[in-house]
Amino acid sequence: MVLSAADKSNVKACWGKIGSHAGDYGTEALERTFCCFPTTKTYFHHFDLSHGSAQVKAHGQKVADALTQAVAHINDLPNALSALSDLHAYKLRVDPVNFKLLSHCLLVTLACHHPAEFTPAVHASLDKFFSAVSTVLTSKYR
């Protein structure tokens, strides 16, 4: 799946509008993931996963920052995400199915906070973008 010029434009516009809320949304998406898909918590057994957890907040910010970087380098995701790709392949080894779960919860979070901007076309572009990011992050798994 290839990101079209329109997709890239939609993603950049949407992410730009999110601005400083990105960290909050990253945190909320994680919270939704843990809540809706309890199996995902197995990767965070060392975290305090209660509502408002500082660890989840910090991790949400981390995820958001990485996505912000990805948006900024949307024309060359493999290079921009190379270090994260190594991390996920050799250290974290999160099963690929979980990237879809987090991506879905990111979409739900954005849909909740920006319903007017979250048109079907923008939704499609973001879904493709998260899919592309997930593909890069799992690209070195085997």
The residues of the shown chain that bind other proteins, judged by CB under 8 A, are 28, 31-32, 35-37, 104-105, 107-108, 111-113, 115, 118-121, 123-124, 127
Interatomic CA distance for residues 6 and 9, integer angstroms: 5
Nearer to other proteins, 19 or 120 (CB): 120
Residue 112: alpha-carbon gap to chain centroid: 16
State the nearest-atom distance from the C-beta of 5 to other proteins, in Å.
16
Which residue, 63 or 105, is less far from other proteins as judged by CB? 105
Least CB distance to other proteins at residue 107 (A) = 6
Closest approach, Cβ 75 to other proteins, in A, equals 23
Nearer to other proteins, 66 or 108 (CB): 108
